[in-house]
Amino acid sequence: MKQSEIEAKLTKPDRQIAAIQKLVATARRIAGRNDRQIARNSEQIAQLTKNVKRFVRTLERGQNGGRNSGSPKVY
């Protein structure tokens, strides 16, 4: 075998290792973005739940604020 053939065979695994390292780094970056997005979505869901509960409480209280919240509803 020639020297250049031996060097070519030796550099192939190095290139493969470098490519695998790039893939792993990219996967870590994507996973980090996903974690941040999940955290943002969780915060938005919590806020939405809070708003819906507040809305339901206002519907349960009565109409137009003309009556006390404890008085019976008259139709």
CA 40 – CA 60 distance, rounded (Å): 31
CA 50 – CA 30 distance, rounded (Å): 30
- Identity (one letter) of the amino acid at 35? D
Give the pLDDT of residue 69. 59
Both structure tokens of 22:
């790039």
Give the pLDDT of residue 62. 67
Q: What is the pLDDT of residues 37-57, one digit of tens each?
A: 999 999 999 999 999 999 988
- Identity (one letter) of the amino acid at 75? Y
pTM score, two decimals? 0.51
CA 67 – CA 36 distance, rounded (Å): 46
